[in-house]
Structure 1
Amino acid sequence: MQSPKYELFNESTARHGILIKGWKIATTKMSIFNSQEIEKVQKETKVPLPEMFFGNNSLQISNDDYGLLFELSPIEALKLVDTTKEGGEKVKVSYSEEWSHRRAKNNEHIKDVVKPFDWTYSTSYSGTLKSALKGQKFEITTERINIEKLKIPEPILFYDEIILFEDELADNGTALLNAKVRVMSSGFFILQRFFLRVDDVLFRTNETRIYHEFGSDYCLREYSSREEHYHKIRSQIPKYKGDDISQLTDPDWVSSMLQKSEKELTLEKLKLNVG
């Protein structure tokens, strides 16, 4: 496929992206929030911020022809974290046996983790459609993103990855929200992933995939939520690895092991031309 005309740009040291086929795709990467920024956004989110909160980071897709502006925002993602006391008990209740075992191993430390909000920072955030002509919105569909087509080797014109937030869960695991974007001659693909590891208890991934094929009149969005017991995933580590459990810190590998444990799947389509 002949590569379409495109332009890479740098609007600042923190923001860069690509202009292609009427689309502007840009990432902003800055340092973690300072104390003043934390105090300001704390009132919006209603939960204590994760240890590393990159509140100014974002991934934006826009197209002036469609009046479209779509964004992945860490602040909006954090707003979907459960702020109730019940939210803080979810992991403890759902995985009571594993949790009790974990607590028995380190009782004084683990008791401080359960807090009056979802301390795992689990979020079902799948992006914010900030504007679109004629009120277009994502609507339920049965159409899937053709992942096999995306596996076909194709030159990447632009690629970037941003971290939205990360927390070590009081040394009991990891909660990480990040996003990756790649732009090819045929279209663009975005993967946002919330990755959760609670040691000895569970793994969870909440993933949002967004795809647009240049020349088509729609974007597809898929949201999926998967989780599995920690030890079931650990058992998938190849035997030749011995005591090496480093794969458990690799979100890509863990996600591949969770494919059969899908809890939730939402398929949506955004029509770009509305008559």
Structure 2
Amino acid sequence: MDLPKYEKFTKDSCQGIQVRGWTISTTKLPIFNSQEIDRLQKQISIPLPEMFFGNNKLQVTNEHGMIFELSPVDALKFVDATREGGDRVKVAYSEEWNHKSAKNHDQIKDVVKPYDWTYSTSYSGTLIRGLQDFEKTTDRIDIEKLKIPEPILFYDEIILFEDELADNGTALLIAKVRVMPSGFFILQRFFLRVDEVLFQLNETRVYHEFGTEYLLREYSSRENPYSKVKAQISKDKGNDISQLTDPDWVSSKLPKSKERDLILEKLRVVPLPS
């Protein structure tokens, strides 16, 4: 395969690639300091996750002025700040929750808060500027095409936020980007593990094939009780449950999303013909 002309770049905390009229970049900085936390708390009514990388971002721009990014600050705005949000897991998984509470009665009272303390977010990116907005579509990302071996021109992974849920699990929001000669693929994943209760994955996939008119975006949300996922650990692992901390392994064990539950969208990235 002939490689397109491309240029990688690094500037301070930002690195990326310019290829085929596109610029794809990631910014990695330390977690928010106290001054940054104070400023953001004036905009957001819930406490920030323990490790909040508020200045990190993944950004995609093109020669026609489109700007799309994944931002931890915007992601946090999609967390339910109501008391109902705080009770969501407890209500939906009452049997598992009561079992957990019985085992952890001294600590569990500190977990449920008057907001969604799991930081579950349905955020799927921010379109800062576009030729038009995202629109519904039936077009799907061709996953089989993405499995075809290609040179990787650029790859990176960034953490947007992480919280250990008062030692009761993990809430993790990460983003990965892969740029190939044929196009680029982005995966943003919110991974939630509430010990003894549930696993949840909210995933956003973004794909553009160079030379086409649209960028495709798919959003899905999957979950399953903790016990059902744990039961899929191979017997030869014995008491080793380390796989339960691996988002990729957990993803392979959760039920597949039903077509009707997927949110499929496309975004025009080139002007309409005149």
Q: Which residue does the alignment assign to 1:245?
A: 241
Tell me if 1:61 matches 2:63: no
Distance in 2 separating the partners of 1:121 and 1:91: 11
One of 256, 270, 273 as aligned partner of 2:270:
273
Identity of aligned residues (%): 70
Counterparts of 1:244-263 in structure 2, within 5 Å, are 244-260=240-256
CA deviation map 1:220-248 (0-9, x unaligned): 00000000000100111111111111110
The correspondence for 1:168, drawn from 164, 183, 207, is 164
C-alpha separation in 2, matches of 1:179 and 1:8: 19
The RMSD of aligned alpha carbons is 1.0
State the match for 1:94 in structure 2.
92
| 1:88, distance to aligned residue in structure 2 (A) | 0.3
Q: Residue 266 of structure 1 aligns to which amino acid in structure 2?
A: I
1:89 is matched by which residue type in structure 2?
D
CA displacement at 1:260 relative to structure 2: 2.6
Q: Which stretch of structure 1 is more off in the superposition, 155-164 or 264-273?
A: 264-273
Q: By how many angstroms is 1:259 displaced?
A: 3.7
| 2:20 equivalent to 1:24 | no
1:213 alignment partner in structure 2: 209
Q: Distance in 1 between matches of 2:193 and 2:210?
A: 36
For residues 261 and 6 of structure 1, what CA distance do their matches in structure 2 show? 36
**Deviation sequence 1:15-36 (CA, Å, 0-9, x none):** 0100000000010000000000
Contact 2:58 2:70 in 1 (8 A): yes
Q: Within 1, Cα distance between the matches of 2:257 and 2:193? A: 15
The answer as to whether partners of 1:226 and 1:264 remain within 8 angstroms in 2 is no
Provide the rounded CA distance (Å) in 1 between the counterparts of 2:217 and 2:126: 12
Secondary structure in structure 1 of the residue aligned to 2:160: strand
What secondary structure sits across from 1:254 in the alignment? helix
After superposition, where does 1:35-46 map in structure 2 within 5 Å?
35-46=34-45
Report the Cα distance in structure 2 between the residues aligned to 1:74 and 1:260, rounded to whole angstroms.
26
Partner in structure 1 of residue 79 of structure 2 = 81
Distance in 2 between the 1:261 and 1:173 partners? Answer: 23
Deviations 1:93-145 (A, max 9, x none): 00001101101111120111000000000000000000013xx1111111110
Render the CA deviation track for 1:30-54: whole Å, top value 9, x for unaligned: 0000000000011212110000000
1:230 to 211, 223, 226: 226
Partner of 2:4: 4
User: Aligned AA for 1:58?
Assistant: K
List alignment gaps of at least 5 residues for structure 2: none
Measured in 2, the distance between the counterparts of 1:18 and 1:88 equals 41
- TM-score with structure 2 length normalisation? 0.97
Letter of the aligned partner of 1:144 in structure 2?
Answer: R
- Relative distance call for 1:261 and 1:245 in structure 2 (3 A) is farther
Judged with a 3 Å threshold, the aligned counterparts in structure 2 of structure 1 residues 259 and 2 are, in CA distance, closer, same or farther, namely farther
Hey, what's the Cα distance between the residues in 2 that align with 1:102 and 1:75? Answer: 31
Figure out how many residues of one structure are paired with residues of the other and give that number.
Answer: 271
Asked if structure 1 preserves the Cα contact closer than 8 Å seen for 2:223 and 2:255, the reply is no
